[in-house]
Structure 1
Amino acid sequence: MRILIYTGKGGVGKTSIAAATALFLANSEKKVMLISTDQAHSLGDIFNKKINNETSQISQNLDVIEIDTTEESKKIWKNLHDYLKQIISAKANDGIEIEETLLFPGLDEVFSLLKILDIYEEAKYDVIVVDCAPTGQSLSLLTYSEKLNVLIDSILPMVQSINSIFGSFISKKTSVPKPRDIVFEEVKNIAKRLKKLYDIFHKRDTTSIRIVTTPEQIVLEEARRNYTCLQLYDFNVDAIYINKLYPEKAMEGYFKDWEDIQKHNIQLAEESFSEQKLFKLEMQNNEINGKESLEKIAKILYQNINPIEIFCQTEAFKMDDINGTRILSIKLPFLKAENISVKKEKDDIIISLLNERRRFHLPDKLRTRKITSYSYENSELKIFMDYD
């Protein structure tokens, strides 16, 4: 099975390209599931069909689903949900809408990932195509598993221990109900399943992440930042789509200056993503709506290319040993040295860049070492580690 994840800034045409790719593969006799994790779903609009949280059939080989994150969250964390509801019911005024208070921003979207895992484990499809939310939300979804596991490994055992020893006493003194063991098990199970999907997303022969952009400089810069952050978490980005290119005829006369700007930005994309497959799609004469228009742009994009091909496999990390010094090297393009900071905290290395912060749990052979220095040159961060 292949998983193709489409991400990018809002409005670049992710949904159109994801849908066109899914339809192309389905017409090529692949059994395909197309999934939208974006809260502002638009697959139903593009296929002119009502689509919801249940599987809808578009064609013989193409099924589609728009994940309802609220419904999925109710299924996945029922016991924790009921426990929190019990606390709020005991303490809150009658006027508070309890169900609304339990809709935690961001958490519902994470549960959409577990729906992907359910579909993956059914093994009914050759390809899963995922139409992700805009860049920032996509990164949060893709990296949430790692962050949640830090919480589960470090904080939850302590809370569970306190609950086991003092839970009944606290409950009597405060009237806050003692959480049942099933609540903790549910949280652990959510983390376990997210970790499983996280591992699948990192299999380079299974999952490819593909960034959709347009030739505008601001949008292209976000695509570059998106790629850098995906590298930080070692996801395999194997293709870039430059959408909504202006045709030459459209840049004649008054818009002549746009031709040079567009050429410059295309060159920037080619230089920035030299290892990835670069797809280009001109702006269409008509709105992309319905199977016929999707098939048209798929034909332009792919011609003799199979979109389930793995176009490249880049290694983000490597470790060297030079004269006893361990060097952890990470490819992080499009950054400035002053935007990077590195520190060691207990058995972890924490790397901060731009708005992202990643915690690496060190292998045994590095835990007894300290960071002596780090450098950023030629798009590569090098962390030097020696014994105290």
Structure 2
Amino acid sequence: MRTILITGPGGSGRTTLAAATALAAAAGGTRTLVLGTDRTDTLGAALGVRTGPAPVQAAPRLTAWRPDAAQDFRRDLTALQERASTALDLLGASRLDPEELTPLPGAGELALLRALRDAALSEKYDTLVVDLPPAPQALALLALPEELRRYLRRLLPAERQAARALRPVLGRLAGVPMPAEWLYETAGRWDLELAAVEAVVADRDTVVRLVAEPGPAGAEALRTAALGLALRGLRTDVVIANRVLPEASPDTWLAGPVAQQRKTLEDWRESYDVRTAPHLGHDPRGTDDLTALTVPGVQPAPPAADWPVTDRLADDGVLVWQIPLPGAIREELDLVRRGDELVVTAGRFRRIVPLPSALRRCTVDGAALHEGELRIRFVPDPGLWPRNP
């Protein structure tokens, strides 16, 4: 399954281009599903069909689906009440009816992650196109599975489950209640579901496609989004410059905006594979307009975003960890070593990554940013590094 995640600044036309990308993929002969995330039916407005919780046929070989977060939330909480019915009865708690439930903050994000997992694992489709929220929310959403799994492992370590039989005894000795079996089982189930989503996002056939209008605001938003994606190890296949004005416009008042777009596109092409979608003079509606945008469909996936460790022990006595961070600014970078993890902060983004095994026996000797690549130097710790015979 090829998965194309599409995001960009708010108002850049990412939903329209997600629909156009899905239509182009379907026209190329692949069974395609486009997944919408907006609460309002902006995806349906672009495709010319109504979308919702039930998948609908939008064009030959193209299916559109917009999950209902409220419906998923009601179903999950009702199921949780059933599993915890004994405890609720002992407490004398009254049950919540599905009709009175409204989604809590975060329910929409979790519903989207579940839909992404289910769609990617389906055998009905060859290509999945996902219309993600605007870039800041999309980056937080893509980071959520990894972060939640890390929290679960810290709060409820799997190795502690080995002492299941001792929990009642330990509870009496310590004088405090010990975590119940159902808590570990629930955490384990969540971990499996989050791992499935994380695997979809990190899959070699998953790419992110950025949409932006060529201009000063779009350029800064693009730099920020590309930096956040790189820190997560996610790959961008193409950048779509949307609403590009025609070069040969007879209107003299467009000369300034056209020149500005041209300069921005020249700058972008130095760093990205840029495609352009023309300004149609109106909001695209229906398959005819989407086809006129001539956006790329399924592209060959770019190489995996590796973070290699270079061995320079013989020459300089160091190991160098190379982390690509295009668009990073030196003054906005920060590194903190915490045990066997490294906390990397780049601008507004932060990620906690486990150190490769060889680097766990080393100490940080410094770091430098060079041409969009963060190079962290490690020197062997004499107390941990194997001695030469």
Tell me which interval the TM-score lies in, with the shorter structure as reference length: 0.7 to 0.9
TM-score by length of 1: 0.84
**Which amino acid letter does the alignment assign opposite residue 291 of structure 2?**
E
* Structure 2 equivalent of residue 237 of structure 1: 236
TM-score by length of 2: 0.84
Instruction: Supply the distance in 1 between the matched residues of 2:332 and 2:282 (Cα, whole angstroms).
Output: 43
Instruction: Supply the distance in 2 between the matched residues of 1:279 and 1:372 (Cα, whole angstroms).
Output: 41
Deviation, 1:90, is 7.3
Instruction: Supply the distance in 2 between the matched residues of 1:42 and 1:252 (Cα, whole angstroms).
Output: 31
**Percent identical across equivalent pairs?**
23
Aligned counterpart in structure 1 of residue 298 of structure 2, from 302, 308, 319: 308
**Which amino acid letter does the alignment assign opposite residue 231 of structure 2?**
L
Deviation, 1:344, is 0.6
Instruction: Supply the distance in 1 between the matched residues of 2:285 and 2:376 (Cα, whole angstroms).
Output: 49
* Structure 1 equivalent of residue 385 of structure 2: none
Matches within 5 A, 1:129-168: 129-157=129-157, 164-165=167-168
Deviations 1:343-385 (A, max 9, x none): 1101101101111110011233222222111111211101111
Deviation, 1:193, is 2.1
**Which amino acid letter does the alignment assign opposite residue 215 of structure 2?**
E
Instruction: Supply the distance in 2 between the matched residues of 1:166 and 1:151 (Cα, whole angstroms).
Output: 27
Matches within 5 A, 1:85-124: 99-100=101-102, 103-124=103-124
Deviations 1:57-110 (A, max 9, x none): 1234111100212323444565557769969x9799x9xx9844xx44234313
Which stretch of structure 1 is more off in the superposition, 41-50 or 132-141? 41-50
Q: Secondary structure at the match of 1:52?
A: coil
Instruction: Supply the distance in 2 between the matched residues of 1:167 and 1:21 (Cα, whole angstroms).
Output: 58
Instruction: Supply the distance in 2 between the matched residues of 1:77 and 1:140 (Cα, whole angstroms).
Output: 24
* Structure 2 equivalent of residue 10 of structure 1: 10
Instruction: Tell me, yes or no, if structure 1 residue 280 matches structure 2 residue 273.
Output: no
Q: Secondary structure at the match of 2:53?
A: coil
* Contact kept in structure 2, 1:371 and 1:385, CA below 8 Å: yes
Deviation, 1:249, is 4.6
Instruction: Tell me, yes or no, if structure 1 residue 289 matches structure 2 residue 285.
Output: yes
Deviation, 1:179, is 7.8
Deviations 1:241-267 (A, max 9, x none): 000112235474233222321221111
Instruction: Supply the distance in 1 between the matched residues of 2:132 and 2:15 (Cα, whole angstroms).
Output: 8
Instruction: Supply the distance in 1 between the matched residues of 2:59 and 2:180 (Cα, whole angstroms).
Output: 46
Instruction: Tell me, yes or no, if structure 1 residue 271 matches structure 2 residue 270.
Output: yes
Instruction: Supply the distance in 1 between the matched residues of 2:289 and 2:326 (Cα, whole angstroms).
Output: 36
Instruction: Supply the distance in 1 between the matched residues of 2:153 and 2:220 (Cα, whole angstroms).
Output: 36
Alignment: residue pair count:
367
Question: Any unmatched runs of 5+ in structure 2?
Answer: 382-389
Deviation, 1:229, is 1.0
Instruction: Supply the distance in 1 between the matched residues of 2:185 and 2:79 (Cα, whole angstroms).
Output: 10
Q: Secondary structure at the match of 1:317?
A: coil
* Structure 2 equivalent of residue 352 of structure 1: 345
**Which amino acid letter does the alignment assign opposite residue 301 of structure 1?**
V
Q: Secondary structure at the match of 1:248?
A: coil
Q: Secondary structure at the match of 2:227?
A: helix
Question: Any unmatched runs of 5+ in structure 1?
Answer: none
Q: Secondary structure at the match of 2:328?
A: coil
* Contact kept in structure 2, 1:224 and 1:272, CA below 8 Å: no
Report runs of 4+ in structure 1 exceeding 4 Å deviation. Answer: 74-87, 89-92, 158-169
* Contact kept in structure 1, 2:36 and 2:43, CA below 8 Å: yes
Instruction: Supply the distance in 1 between the matched residues of 2:260 and 2:306 (Cα, whole angstroms).
Output: 31
Q: Secondary structure at the match of 1:301?
A: coil
